[in-house]
């Protein structure tokens, strides 16, 4: 092996969601999206160039399975689009459940894109690294940065940082309600939703206004406005999924219990709101001062198997051993 690059990249959670792709190739989201980086949900990836006829990939110690197959396809695509002959050794480990709606593909493909850019000397600027990561997973484009990040719905969508985490140091409590991998993958779910949900057109039509509202709320650090638009975007996304044929239901009973608990807390003035991705886990965004109270309340709900607490952050790190 010639050189090895180590990357630390973090998961992110979208406050304004993306769900649905544009036609054609390049894995282009049909909408923009806006996320926050999660400092303590980390993927560590090592990428090296090897003198071999094929790539050598292991994810969480596994050398086969869906996640490994996706990485292999991604490496093929990178070779094709960047005219490379190299093969790669990839070792990637997540310190949180994989494929369970905790954005492991986001941090995973962001780490890989950052590592490949360095090890294969692609010389890409951050927006182009984000475009590369997007080809692996739409949400991965956002994990190329930390803090508050927007995926811009361009002809070749890219991500950019809206503000660093220090702009508004919020806290996040993740209520894990199942450690199982999700039953319907995001890609399959998005296809089904676009083809069969009668709510899908409304989802697309109302999305740009949600992006504007969220951008303004972040600029003004307006918690109530960010809470309102984030919960709306999450519930709209799940409503379009649920109205697909066959229905896509990622929630379990505990997911709903946590939603109710957070709504009740906000009604009495506690700054906390929920968001949920393609899985049953609930991510609660709150002020650092209210995080203990939120965690205490949610930990008592039957079906919440564990909590992951983190602050905003997620600035990736790339280092190299000669
Ligand atoms: O990154 P993908 O293609 O697996 O899609 C993720 C979609 C959601 O997590 C549900 C929403 C989002 O914007 O992250």
User: What's the pLDDT tens digit per position in 192-215?
Assistant: 999 999 999 999 999 999 999 999
User: What's the pLDDT tens digit per position in 53-74?
Assistant: 999 999 999 999 989 999 999 9
User: What's the pLDDT tens digit per position in 168-177?
Assistant: 999 999 999 9
Evaluate if residue 129 carries a pLDDT over 90.
yes
Residue 22 is predicted with a pLDDT of 95
Quick one: average pLDDT of 233-250? 98
For residues 304 and 297, give the distance between their C-alpha atoms in angstroms, rounded to a whole number: 11
Q: Is 277 in the pocket of ligand 1 (CB under 6 A)?
A: yes
Residue 100 is predicted with a pLDDT of 53
Strands 158-163 and 148-152, how do they pair?
antiparallel
User: Any residues with CB less than 8 A from the CB of 28 and at least 6 apart, and which?
Assistant: 21, 22, 134, 156, 157
- What's the first-to-final CA gap in the chain, in angstroms? 10
Q: Is 14 in the pocket of ligand 1 (CB under 6 A)?
A: yes
Q: Is 278 in the pocket of ligand 1 (CB under 6 A)?
A: yes
Number of alpha carbons in the 13 Å side-chain half-sphere of residue 277: 28
Strands 56-59 and 87-94, how do they pair?
parallel
Closest ligand 1 atom number to CA of residue 21: 3
Residue nearest (by alpha carbon) to ligand 1 atom 9 = 277
* Residues of the chain above pLDDT 90, percent: 91
Contact 271, 262 (CB under 8 A): no
Residue 96 is predicted with a pLDDT of 73
Q: Is 233 in the pocket of ligand 1 (CB under 6 A)?
A: no
Number of alpha carbons in the 13 Å side-chain half-sphere of residue 1: 15
Evaluate if residue 286 carries a pLDDT over 60.
yes
Q: Is 104 in the pocket of ligand 1 (CB under 6 A)?
A: no
**What spacing in Å lies between the alpha carbon of 13 and ligand 1's midpoint?**
9
Residue 97 is predicted with a pLDDT of 62
In this prediction, residue 95 has a pLDDT band, given cuts at 50, 70 and 90, of confident
Residue 19 phi/psi, 5-degree rounding, is -155, 105
In this prediction, residue 183 has a pLDDT band, given cuts at 50, 70 and 90, of confident
Residue 105 is predicted with a pLDDT of 87
Closest ligand 1 atom number to CA of residue 103: 9
Residue 322 is predicted with a pLDDT of 67
**Lowest-pLDDT choice from 88-92, 102-106, 316-320:** 102-106
**What spacing in Å lies between the alpha carbon of 33 and ligand 1's midpoint?**
9
For residues 115 and 21, give the distance between their C-alpha atoms in angstroms, rounded to a whole number: 26
Which alpha helices (DSSP H) does 37-182 contain, by range? 66-81, 104-119, 126-136
- Give the residue from 175, 200, 187 showing the smallest Cα distance to 66: 187
Evaluate if residue 179 carries a pLDDT over 90.
no
Quick one: average pLDDT of 292-305? 97
**What spacing in Å lies between the alpha carbon of 50 and ligand 1's midpoint?**
32
Closest ligand 1 atom number to CA of residue 142: 14
Total length of the chain = 322
**What spacing in Å lies between the alpha carbon of 20 and ligand 1's midpoint?**
9
Q: Is 186 in the pocket of ligand 1 (CB under 6 A)?
A: yes
Residue 246 is predicted with a pLDDT of 97
In this prediction, residue 1 has a pLDDT band, given cuts at 50, 70 and 90, of low
**What spacing in Å lies between the alpha carbon of 274 and ligand 1's midpoint?**
16
Q: For the chain, how many helices (H) and strands (E)?
A: 8, 11
Which alpha helices (DSSP H) does the chain contain, by range? 66-81, 104-119, 126-136, 186-196, 200-219, 223-242, 253-267, 291-299
Quick one: average pLDDT of 13-33? 96
**What spacing in Å lies between the alpha carbon of 128 and ligand 1's midpoint?**
19
In eight-state DSSP terms, residue 246 is S
- Per 3-state DSSP, the chain is made up of helix, strand and coil in percentages (nearest 5) of 40, 25, 35
Residue nearest (by alpha carbon) to ligand 1 atom 8 = 277
Does 86 or 183 have the greater pLDDT score?
Answer: 86
Q: Is 120 in the pocket of ligand 1 (CB under 6 A)?
A: no
Instruction: Name residue, tokens 């310190």.
Output: 95
């Amino acid at each position: 092996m010639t050189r090895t690059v180590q990357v630390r990249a973090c998961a992110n959670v979208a406050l304004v969601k993306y769900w649905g792709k544009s036609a054609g190739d390049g894995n282009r989201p049909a909408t923009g999206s806006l996320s926050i980086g999660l400092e303590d949900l980390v993927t560590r990836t090592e990428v090296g160039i090897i003198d071999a006829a094929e790539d050598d990939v292991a994810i969480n110690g596994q050398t086969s399975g869906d996640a490994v197959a996706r990485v292999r396809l991604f490496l093929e695509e990178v070779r094709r689009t960047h005219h490379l002959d190299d093969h790669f050794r990839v070792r990637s480990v997540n310190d949180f459940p994989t494929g369970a709606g905790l954005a492991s593909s986001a941090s995973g493909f962001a780490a890989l894109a950052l590592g490949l850019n360095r090890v294969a000397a692609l010389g890409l600027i951050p927006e182009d690294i984000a475009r590369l990561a997007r080809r692996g997973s739409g949400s991965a484009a956002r994990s190329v940065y930390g803090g508050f990040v927007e995926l811009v719905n361009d002809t070749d969508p890219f991500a950019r940082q809206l503000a660093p985490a220090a702009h508004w140091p919020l806290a996040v409590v993740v209520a894990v309600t199942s450690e199982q991998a999700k039953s319907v993958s995001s890609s399959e779910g998005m296809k089904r939703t676009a083809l069969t949900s009668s709510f899908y057109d409304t989802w697309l039509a109302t999305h740009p206004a949600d992006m504007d509202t969220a951008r303004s709320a972040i600029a003004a650090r307006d918690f109530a406005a960010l809470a309102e638009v984030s919960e709306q975007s999450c519930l709209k996304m799940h409503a379009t999924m649920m109205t697909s044929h066959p229905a896509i239901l990622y929630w379990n009973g505990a997911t709903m219990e946590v939603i109710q608990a957070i709504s009740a807390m906000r009604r009495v003035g506690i700054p906390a709101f929920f968001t949920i991705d393609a899985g049953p886990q609930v991510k609660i965004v709150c002020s650092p001062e209210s995080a203990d109270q939120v965690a205490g309340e949610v930990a008592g709900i039957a079906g919440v198997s564990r909590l992951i607490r983190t602050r905003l952050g997620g600035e990736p790190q790339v280092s190299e051993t000669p």
